[in-house]
Structure formats: C-alpha cells, structure tokens
Amino acid sequence: MCVSQRAGTRFANARARIWHKIIQRRFGALKMSDSGGYQHAWQQYKRRGQLWIALFLLYVPVVVGAAMFCLRYFHTPKPAIVVAVFWMGLTLWIGARINLWRCPRCGNMFSGTMWRSKGIFAGQCVHCGLPKYDNGEGSAG
C-alpha cells in the first residue's frame, strides 16, 4: 500500500468516526455526564411525550375533519385516507422514539429492553435506577 492509499484510508476512518459520533449524539446513544445534559435530555423526552399525546388525542378530530373537507370539496375520501395513514405512521414513529429513548446517565434504553418496555409509564431507568426527570444530583427536576 502506498503512502497516498494509507492517507486516504486514515481520512476515511476519521470521517467514519466523526459520523458515528454525530449519529450517536443525534439518536441519544452517548451518555451525558453533567446535570445540564440531563436537563436537556429530559426536556427532549418531555417534548416527545407531549407530542405523542397530542398526536394520539387529535387523530380522530383531524381525520374526521379531513374526511368531511375532502368529501365536500373533492367528492372523494382518498386524500383523507392519506392523512389518516400519515398520522398513524407519525404517531407510531414518535412512540417508538419514546420507547427507544436512552437514559442520560447510563446510555441504555430508559424504559426497558427492545422486547419488553414500560414505555411512558417507566418511573425510573430500569438499568441504573435514575428517576424520571432527575438532574443527576439526587433531586427530581
């Protein structure tokens, strides 16, 4: 292997490590060591939970409204069916993000394992015992 090939391989490996860190941070796989990181993580978790509840509660009114609108102006329910399928998919995706959310202390799944999960009802991390919304200093936030 010549010098330029080794340099190219080294550059590719460094680039792969950088992308790996970006992906891990984006999807919450890295541990957060300070309490400020805990607070940011809990804010994200709470925002996702509130979004999921809003999507769940607004599903029927939005789909019925879309169906009535489409029937009145387009004389077909097909666009409303697209809205319903999209809304269900979005609700499932956000729900999966909540269930796969990682504990800010230990980095494992907060509510359980891939196959058995307490979901939003987990009051503490099932792996390290960090209470929900705790800032890492022993008091809940």
Q: How far apart are CA 133 and CA 141, in angstroms?
A: 5
Higher pLDDT, 44 or 25: 44
Report DSSP letters for the chain, one per residue.
--HHHHHHHHHHHHHHHHHHHHHHHHTT-S---SHHHHHHHHHHHHHHHHHHHHHHHHHHHHHHHHHHHHHHHTS-SHHHHHHHHHHHHHHHHHHHHHHTPBPTTT-SBTTB-SSSB-GGG--B-TTT-PBTTB-SSSSB-
The reported pLDDT for the residue numbered 141 is 47
pLDDT category at 134 given cuts 50, 70, 90 is confident
Q: Is the pLDDT of residue 30 over 50?
A: no
The reported pLDDT for the residue numbered 16 is 64
**Domain residue spans in the chain?**
1-30, 33-141
Report which residue type is found at 97.
R
